[in-house]
A and B are shown apart, each in its own frame.
Chain A
Amino acid sequence: MASYYDKLKRDLDLSAAEGLITAAQASAVYERSLANRLLAQWKAVHWIALFSGILIAAGVSLVLAHNWDKFGAVVKISGFLLVFAAAAEAAMRLEDRPAAAVPAEALWFFMPVIGIGLYAQIFHLSGDPMKPYLVWAALSLPLALLAHGRRSAFLLVILLFGTLFAGTLTPGSMLSLVSRYGAEALPPWWHWPLALSVLGTASAVGLYRRCHSASRLLGAALAWVVMLLLADTVLKVRSEAFVLLAVSSATALWVAWTPAEERGEARLPYLAWFANVYAMTFLWHHSPRHQGGADSPWGVVLVWALFAFALGSVALKPLLKDAGKGWEAAFKAALIAPPLAAFLLFGATEVHAKAIALFANLIICAAGAGLIWNGAMENSERRINYGIAAVSLIAVTRFVDLFGGLLNSGLGFIGAGLGFAALATFINRGRKALIQSAEEAKR
């Protein structure tokens, strides 16, 4: 099956042949489109080649493990160093042949951790579980920065974020920021600069090599901060109001600081915002409960800082390019409404929680209606579909939520089924009508 890029190339060539655009423009558009995607040049054969590289790496370590006693330590180490050098040389020399260079570079990237595992087995080394990953990252950093392609940098950023999450959120490692279950003592302070340097390195490599979008890097960093607030760290917060304020502020920040040029493709920040507001709708059933422990002062400070930063960013930053003032204001209001609603949870009663849930339902309905309206005005089928999906999800959820208890008989199920069928029919008709009007406006 021809890929999107094959089709794009054909269309551009055709357009150039028909004189719609010049050949140089066709070539420039194609190159720009390719450059936007890290793995765009990859065909099925390259993916297979990548897996072959990983399998070779795994196979080598398995073969060594099975023949463990037949070789001495020096033989094993020499063999490892030879394979290491061969993989790296192959990656460098075969750079213009991706089918060979991709697995060779993958093997080169994984060789340090294979070596560390090999040495640990030969010399029976044990210790901090995060240390091998940090050493691996340090050894692979120059490769990620200097390699011609961005594959090693792509893998390194994943390795660093994986190490950051696993290391800081599990007790007992040199990166750990959480205390052991039942222990009062927190890990030493110097774990913090180490963890922050891992985060800084991952972000810097990702941005410098452009192997991950800025939005994705920001999302990972914000997710890490939220996890630190939820875990048993010096930043822990336990009151529901602070947790809700932190998560809502983080999602608003993520959307606000996703670069404008990435905003069209980056769906995750919007999905996170939607998931947060959707979760808030379930506060209807919330009843105040005893919270598990006190909020730490540093955690409270961080939550207020997140909120202040989110508020400032949303208020002062222009967020929508080429949109009218009304849309810009509506977008900003939708972003900042969830953190503001979280304030109702301070000293909450059931009435406050229900008010937040009601407000969250309204936010989603308003956002859905706004998307449908905007989509119809700007001829965007995608926005219309998103808007209808949001409103439908709320309608179905609230139906099950409020009338689910009545589904205790066959007739109840049949009635609910007929009701949903009618809803689906009306929604689909409305959706088609909107899309049709958008298409007519395009013509």
Chain B
Amino acid sequence: MKGLRLVLLAQLAFFALWAGLLIGAPRQDVGDIYLETEPVDPRDLLSGTYVALSYPIGNARTCSGLPGSFRRGTVYVSLSDKGRRAATPSGQVVVHEADGCALEKPRSGVWARGNLAEGRGGRRVVFGIERFFLNENDPLKDARSGSVLAQVRPDRYGGLRLNALVRKD
């Protein structure tokens, strides 16, 4: 019984720590930023209601400056305001775009940690924010990648947290 209680405590501690990390991870110096999305064909219909997302910042050409021998693994994508704006119901917002990617963490600026991998459509960087789960009655259910902006929050470890989808006007 004592051993099992320890098992339970370890399991609960795992979920509590994970929640703490997800909720309380320190942010980068920038607030929420917006990322452009591009059309994607959602294929997995078994995982509940979600909008499948794909991001131009994940294109393989973002990482074209990396050594040719580097085929897969963790990369750091620099993001910046290159002057692109998008109209949303709450006004114009800045859309961050990729500057390039590196194998080392950038020392300044906004950046995101991703995983360069071979996907269905060739090599891409994935950030773990490729699905936006929502209620079955949510009007965004019919949104498609490319018609929305992703409002994300970069944390200090380079993780991106997907906060909301915003329709483009």
Instruction: Please say whether chains A and B are actual partners in one complex.
Output: yes
Complex Cα–Cα for A143 and B126 (A): 34
Complex Cα–Cα for A108 and B128 (A): 27
Complex Cα–Cα for A197 and B75 (A): 27
Query: 16 more A-B contacts (CB under 8 A) besides A66-B136, A84-B15, A146-B4?
Result: A65-B48, A65-B136, A66-B135, A68-B135, A77-B15, A81-B12, A84-B8, A112-B11, A115-B15, A119-B15, A119-B22, A120-B131, A124-B132, A124-B133, A126-B128, A183-B118
Quick check: is A324 within 8 A (CB to CB) of the other chain? no
Contact between A69 and B135, CB atoms less than 8 A apart:
yes
Q: Per-residue 0/1 for B109-129: is the Cβ within 8 Å of any A Cβ (1 yes, 0 no)?
A: 000000001111000001011
Complex Cα–Cα for A88 and B130 (A): 33
* Those of A146-165 within 8 Å (CB) of chain B: 146-147
Number of interface residues, chain A, beta carbon within 8 A: 37
Closest to B160 in A: A124
| A–B complex contacts, Cβ < 8 Å, 25 sampled | A66-B135, A66-B136, A68-B134, A68-B135, A81-B16, A84-B8, A84-B12, A84-B15, A88-B4, A88-B11, A92-B1, A111-B11, A112-B11, A121-B133, A122-B22, A124-B129, A124-B133, A124-B161, A127-B128, A146-B7, A147-B4, A172-B118, A183-B118, A185-B71, A185-B118
Contact between A126 and B130, CB atoms less than 8 A apart:
yes
Q: Per-residue 0/1 for B10-23: is the Cβ within 8 Å of any A Cβ (1 yes, 0 no)?
A: 11101110110011
Complex Cα–Cα for A224 and B81 (A): 50
Quick check: is A133 within 8 A (CB to CB) of the other chain? no
Residues of B within 8 A of A122 (CB): 22
Contact between B18 and A92, CB atoms less than 8 A apart:
no
Q: Per-residue 0/1 for B143-169: is the Cβ within 8 Å of any A Cβ (1 yes, 0 no)?
A: 000000000000000000110000000
Quick check: is A74 within 8 A (CB to CB) of the other chain? yes
Number of interface residues, chain B, beta carbon within 8 A: 37
B4, B6, B162, most chain A CB atoms within 10 A: B4
A80, A123, A185, most chain B CB atoms within 10 A: A123
Quick check: is B82 within 8 A (CB to CB) of the other chain? no
Residues of B within 8 A of A81 (CB): 12, 15-16
Quick check: is B3 within 8 A (CB to CB) of the other chain? yes
Residues of A within 8 A of B72 (CB): 188
What distance in Å separates the Cβ of B80 from its nearest Cβ neighbour in chain A?
24
Contact between B119 and A172, CB atoms less than 8 A apart:
yes
Residues of chain B whose beta carbon lies under 8 Å from any beta carbon of chain A: 1, 3-8, 10-12, 14-16, 18-19, 22-23, 48, 71-72, 117-120, 126, 128-136, 138, 161-162
What distance in Å separates the Cβ of B9 from its nearest Cβ neighbour in chain A?
9
Counted as pairs of residues, one from A and one from B, with CB atoms less than 8 Å apart, the total is 89
Complex Cα–Cα for A77 and B132 (A): 18
Quick check: is A85 within 8 A (CB to CB) of the other chain? yes
Complex Cα–Cα for A108 and B8 (A): 9
What distance in Å separates the Cβ of B116 from its nearest Cβ neighbour in chain A?
12
Q: Per-residue 0/1 for A113-155: is the Cβ within 8 Å of any B Cβ (1 yes, 0 no)?
A: 0010001111111110000000000010011001100000000
Q: Name the contact of A124 in the complex, choosing from B7, B135, B162 (C-beta under 8 A).
A: B162
Contact between B18 and A73, CB atoms less than 8 A apart:
no
Complex Cα–Cα for A142 and B14 (A): 14
A65, A80, A121, A143, most chain B CB atoms within 10 A: A121
Contact between A77 and B19, CB atoms less than 8 A apart:
yes
Contact between A126 and B8, CB atoms less than 8 A apart:
no
Complex Cα–Cα for A147 and B5 (A): 10
Residues of B within 8 A of A84 (CB): 8, 11-12, 15
Complex Cα–Cα for A135 and B16 (A): 15
Contact between A123 and B118, CB atoms less than 8 A apart:
no
* Those of A166-205 within 8 Å (CB) of chain B: 172, 180, 183, 185, 188
What distance in Å separates the Cβ of A294 from its nearest Cβ neighbour in chain B?
22
Q: Per-residue 0/1 for A94-119: is the Cβ within 8 Å of any B Cβ (1 yes, 0 no)?
A: 00000000000000100110010001
What distance in Å separates the Cβ of B155 from its nearest Cβ neighbour in chain A?
12
Residues of A within 8 A of B136 (CB): 65-66
Complex Cα–Cα for A393 and B7 (A): 53
Query: A73 with B48: in contact, given A81-B12, A112-B11 (CB under 8 Å)?
Result: no
What distance in Å separates the Cβ of B143 from its nearest Cβ neighbour in chain A?
14
Residues of A within 8 A of B16 (CB): 81
What distance in Å separates the Cβ of A177 from its nearest Cβ neighbour in chain B?
14
Closest to A95 in B: B1
What distance in Å separates the Cβ of B61 from its nearest Cβ neighbour in chain A?
19
Contact between A92 and B126, CB atoms less than 8 A apart:
no
